[in-house]
Structure 1
Amino acid sequence: MSILQVSDVSMSFAGRTILDNVSFRLLNGEHVALVGANGEGKSTFLNIITGQALPDAGKITWCNRITRGYLDQYALLDGEQTINDVLASAFSDFYALEKEMLHDYELMAETSGAELERLLQDVGEIQETLEHSGFYTLDAKIKEVANGLGLSSLGLEHKIAELSGGQRTKVLLAKLLLQNPKILILDEPTNFLDEEHVAWLTSFLQNYPHAFILASHDVPFLNAVVNVIYHVNQGQFKRYVGDYDNFLRLSALEQAKQEQAYVRQQKEISQLKDFIARNKARISTRNMAQSRQKKLDKMALVDKPKEQIKPVFNFQSARTPGKVVLKLQDLVIGYTTPLTKPLNLQIERNEKIAVKGTNGLGKTTLLRTLAGDLAPLSGTVEMDQFCQPGFFAQEDNGNENSALDELWAVYPHASNQEVRGMLAACGLTKDHIETMMFALSGGEKAKVRLAKIMYRPFNLLFLDEPTNHLDVAAKEELKRALQAYKGTVILVSHEPEFYSDIVSKVWNIEDYTTKIV
């Protein structure tokens, strides 16, 4: 049974066509992924079906009495609430029923007769609903999900205001999973999750009894949890049954067949045109030429396969620094309270190091401290005098500058054509380049931030979760560029399949933290 039907939906934004007359269906129990390059409209589509955006045209039809939950990574939370408060709010309807039941009990003490019978019946119905829903085991459910996503180790009495962005996303995800809706809608759910918690979410979704729709660029995750793929490409949707690897195989076959058909038809068209040109003026062959012209006029043209724009990343190297690039002596990082034990480490020239570990333990704080953007609580960071560091920040919600102006501010002496070329090399089209930053997708913003550090010579790169939001092709190209880079790299990442072929050393922040993990 179709529980969601999307018919002929179109959407334009900031002068760009995002979705062009697309259709989509979700059947009961299907585990669906939206895949495609950055900026193709995956998040826009999720916003439309959840009612957060209105399409320019088309129809969205949900089946009756369906419950759905949407993971919005940018949803606001009350900073004064605790983690437990937010997770318990997933069951607010049940708590309201319990409150109503307790009120009925109070009224029973002061009434009799028919009214008492009515109250007894009401209490019985509420009691049955609560028992059937598992209300009396909610604490165990909360604990199970909180443990799975690493929230219990933070302490469920922790206030939301004290959490990092990644930790808040975990809280939102945990609340959504506890609500157990008939349809889960998840936009890049593995962003901000470390390896252990991606594994837990994978297991949860593999066993999820209802339908879900997710957008993700995490290939191992997709292969493990989905059974239907919708490829979002140049405003169009195409449905494939199976996992991501099967989609790649089938789409490659389709691309090859279309390419062959296009080449054959172009050859035939060329031959027809040549015959017509040589014979249309000759009386003896004029009829044959006209016949071929009619055939040419009636021919249904095969579209030339559209090539996906792929980015090309290349990081510029600066002069060679000393052998020891960074020396950490009794370094303690944090803002007001220590996040680590004293660190005594050194990083040598051209080393490539990944920093991994549970969210909230200080990975970003460590990078900012090593880069000199944040003062240590104690100890020192000694950077070689010839170091020229570049920093890629994890998140940027955007502003009203265009992507062109944003990059021009960093490279003011570059020409218009040069700046456009820089952005185009990162996989951004003319429309993207002229679009305001806040209107770009997360992956498109990440490509602009990469461009900011790609055309200036650095010999030390700090990269904070560089793969978040990047599409599959961009991740592969970023991996190649970092492998080829002649310099030192320190990157924070939760994707071992990305960094394992790049780095020679992995630091686990959990080995240095002062917190209980």
Structure 2
Amino acid sequence: MSILNVSNVSHGFGSRVILEDASFRLLKGEHVGLVGANGEGKSTFLNIITGKLMPDEGKVEWCNHITTGYLDQYSTLEKGKTIRDILKSAFSHMFELEQKTMELYERMGECTPEEMDTILEEVGEIQSILESSDFYNLDSKIEEYAAGLGLMDIGLERDVADLSGGQRAKILLAKVLLENPMILILDEPTNFLDEDHINWLKNFLKNYENAFILVSHDIPFLNDVTNVIYHVEKAVLTRYTGDYYQFREMYELKKRQIEQAYKKQQKEIAHLEKFIAKNKARVATTNMAKDRQRKLDRMEVIEIAKEKPKPIFGFNTARTPSREIVGVSDLVIGYDEPLTKPLNFSIERNQKIAIRGVNGLGKSTLLNTILGRIKPISGDVEQGQFVEVGYFKQEEESSNKTALDEFWDEFPSFTNAEARAALARCGLTTDHITSKMKVLSGGENAKVRLAKIMNRDINVLVLDEPTNHLDIDAKEELKRAVREFQGTVVMVSHEPDFYMDVATEIWDVEDWTTKVI
């Protein structure tokens, strides 16, 4: 049974064609992975099917009485509410039914016998719905999901306004999962999860009875939970049955077959054109030449799509700094309250350090403290001499500037050609470069920010979750560039595949925290 049908949808932004004549169907219980490189239109497609964006052409049809839950990259939370309040709001329709039963009970005191029968029947129906939905055990269900995603460690009575971006993302994810919709739509749900909570979500989705559509650049995760892949490339959406690795095999086979057919056809075209040129002017062979021309005119020419530009990352090394890059003594980090015990450590020249640990324990706070961007609660941080830092923040607010202007503001001495070339090296096309930052995808935004770091002379590279929005090619290229960087690296990452064979040391903030894990 098809619960979602997308027919011949086309959409673009300015001169950029994002989707062209795209069709899609979702069957009951299907677990769909939506894949493609950064900026190919995955988030645009999700916005179209959820009604946040109207397509230029085509139609989207849902089956009747469908319920959906959508977690996108940019969801927000209402300030002034606790975590428990937000999670309880997943069951707002049930609380409304409970409120209705209370109103019906109040009416019983002053109704006729006939009305009493009607009220009792309605109350019975509502109670049946609430009981079948396990309404009277909601608190235990909320706590089960909160524990699975690490929210119990934060405390369910905490105001959401006090939390980090990663913690808020977890709350939104838990709320969407608690809603148990007929279709679950998740855009990069693992971005702010650590390894333990990714495993919990993986098991949840593997056993999810309803359908879901998932966008993720975490390939092992994606592969484990999907049974259908939709691939978007060059504005074309193509369906493949199977998991991600099976899709890659079929995609590569199809690509080779098209390339072979293209080469064969090009040889035939060259042969026909040569025959026509040689024989069209001769009376004896002019009819044969015309036959060949007609054959050529009727031929459906195979086209090979141009390869999407792949990023080439690399970092310029500044002068050699002192042996000790950073030294800390009795350092306690935090904002209103301490997040760590007193810390004593040093970071030395050319070390490559990966910092891991569950969210909310102060990984980003630690980076900002040792960089001098926020003050410690107590203790000292001392930077070495001649330290030049390139800092990639976990999230930055997108501006109304174009990618070119964003880059140019930082490097005004660059010519137009130099600025464009610097952005192009990061895998950005002319369309991306001239688009506003706020309409670029998360991965394209990240590439612009990396371009700015790449064009400075640095000897310390600080990366806070750099892979969150990057596609597979960009992740692999960044990994290579970090490995080859002739300087010090401090990175926060939840992806062992990214840091394990790059880092010379791995620090776990769980060893330092004052919180109970």
TM-score normalised to structure 1 length: 0.98
Matches of 2:78 and 2:281, distance apart in 1: 82
Matches of 1:87 and 1:71, distance apart in 2: 14
Partner of 2:214: 214
Q: Does residue 288 of the first structure (1) align with residue 293 of the second (2)? A: no
Partner of 1:500: 500
Partner of 1:459: 459
**1:281-328 deviations in Å (ceiling 9; x for gaps):** 233333332222222122110112431221111111112222222111
**1:456-485 deviations in Å (ceiling 9; x for gaps):** 111101111100111111001111111111
State the Cα RMSD in Å.
1.3
Matches within 5 A, 1:103-182: 103-111=103-111, 113-182=113-182
Using the TM superposition, give the Cα deviation of residue 110 of structure 1 relative to its aligned residue in structure 2, in angstroms. 4.1
- Equivalent residue letter for 1:159: D
Using the TM superposition, give the Cα deviation of residue 78 of structure 1 relative to its aligned residue in structure 2, in angstroms. 2.1
Does the Cα contact within 8 Å between 2:79 and 2:161 map onto a contact in 1?
yes
3-state SS of paired residue (1:105): helix
- Equivalent residue letter for 1:489: V
Which of 137-146 and 299-308 deviates more? Answer: 299-308
- Equivalent residue letter for 2:449: R
Partner of 2:337: 337
Partner of 2:83: 83
Which of 503-512 and 194-203 deviates more? Answer: 503-512
Matches of 1:72 and 1:231, distance apart in 2: 19
3-state SS of paired residue (1:128): helix
Does the Cα contact within 8 Å between 1:388 and 1:460 map onto a contact in 2?
yes
Matches of 2:128 and 2:294, distance apart in 1: 75
Does the Cα contact within 8 Å between 2:389 and 2:460 map onto a contact in 1?
yes
3-state SS of paired residue (2:231): strand
Does the Cα contact within 8 Å between 1:83 and 1:157 map onto a contact in 2?
yes
Does the Cα contact within 8 Å between 1:255 and 1:305 map onto a contact in 2?
no
Partner of 1:224: 224
Matches of 2:128 and 2:398, distance apart in 1: 50
Partner of 1:93: 93
Matches within 5 A, 1:379-390: 379-390=379-390
Matches of 2:15 and 2:514, distance apart in 1: 50
3-state SS of paired residue (2:497): helix
3-state SS of paired residue (1:261): helix
- Equivalent residue letter for 1:24: F
Matches of 2:115 and 2:98, distance apart in 1: 20
Partner of 2:245: 245
Partner of 2:434: 434
Does the Cα contact within 8 Å between 1:16 and 1:431 map onto a contact in 2?
yes
Which of 207-216 and 96-105 deviates more? Answer: 96-105
Which of 345-354 and 10-19 deviates more? Answer: 10-19
Using the TM superposition, give the Cα deviation of residue 126 of structure 1 relative to its aligned residue in structure 2, in angstroms. 1.4
Corresponding pairs, count: 517
Matches of 2:460 and 2:361, distance apart in 1: 23
- Equivalent residue letter for 2:86: V
Does the Cα contact within 8 Å between 1:11 and 1:20 map onto a contact in 2?
yes
Matches of 1:501 and 1:438, distance apart in 2: 34
Does the Cα contact within 8 Å between 1:167 and 1:360 map onto a contact in 2?
yes
Partner of 1:10: 10
Matches of 2:117 and 2:52, distance apart in 1: 45
Using the TM superposition, give the Cα deviation of residue 97 of structure 1 relative to its aligned residue in structure 2, in angstroms. 1.2
Which of 69-78 and 335-344 deviates more? Answer: 69-78
Give 4+ residue runs of structure 1 displaced > 3 Å after superposition.
Answer: 109-112
Partner of 2:205: 205
Using the TM superposition, give the Cα deviation of residue 111 of structure 1 relative to its aligned residue in structure 2, in angstroms. 4.1
Using the TM superposition, give the Cα deviation of residue 23 of structure 1 relative to its aligned residue in structure 2, in angstroms. 0.6
Matches of 1:498 and 1:376, distance apart in 2: 29
Which of 480-489 and 203-212 deviates more? Answer: 480-489
3-state SS of paired residue (1:515): coil
Matches of 1:177 and 1:62, distance apart in 2: 20
- Equivalent residue letter for 1:241: T
Q: Which consecutive residues of structure 2, in runs of 5 or more, have no partner in the other structure?
A: none
Which of 199-208 and 318-327 deviates more? Answer: 318-327
Does the Cα contact within 8 Å between 1:10 and 1:19 map onto a contact in 2?
yes
**1:144-180 deviations in Å (ceiling 9; x for gaps):** 1000000011110011111111111111111111110
Which of 150-159 and 121-130 deviates more? Answer: 121-130
Partner of 1:55: 55
- Equivalent residue letter for 1:164: S
Using the TM superposition, give the Cα deviation of residue 186 of structure 1 relative to its aligned residue in structure 2, in angstroms. 0.6
Identity %: 59
Does the Cα contact within 8 Å between 1:38 and 1:470 map onto a contact in 2?
yes
3-state SS of paired residue (1:284): coil
Matches of 2:74 and 2:364, distance apart in 1: 19
Which of 449-458 and 99-108 deviates more? Answer: 99-108
3-state SS of paired residue (2:345): strand
Does the Cα contact within 8 Å between 1:41 and 1:235 map onto a contact in 2?
yes
Using the TM superposition, give the Cα deviation of residue 447 of structure 1 relative to its aligned residue in structure 2, in angstroms. 0.2
